[in-house]
Amino acid sequence: MSNYQYKTNNQSNHSIIKEQKLWKTGNSVVVTMPKEVLEHFNVSTGDSLTFIINEDKVEVVKKEYTDLDILKLVDRTMERHGEIIEGLKDR
């Protein structure tokens, strides 16, 4: 059994005792996340997690998006599709 430690940005540390196997898919090795962890982080498929390695443990932190992240996404979208978007607004 492994002791997984997890935390969110605004909550204290908690522990869950759970064993998860690693498995290979394509060129990657993956591990499934226990339902309790997904619910605690309020994450699902497509969300991002950050892994912080500290000596003998790995911390998992939910990626929180900032206004700057959103503005960068808007800029990239406008660079790629700006002409189309401008054309649609004039219709």
CA distance 59 to 6: 6
Spatial contact of 31 and 58, defined as CB atoms under 8 Å apart: no
Second-level CATH architecture of 2-89: Ribbon (2.10)
Q: Residue ranges of the domains in the chain?
A: 2-89
**Which tokens go with 6?**
């997890």
The per-residue pLDDT for 35 is 85
Provide block-wise average pLDDT over 10 residues at a time, the chain (91 residues). 53 65 93 84 86 86 76 86 82 74
Neighbours of 90 (CB within 10 A): 5
Nearest to 22 by CA among 32, 31, 9: 31
pTM of the predicted protein model? 0.46
Amino acid at 41: F
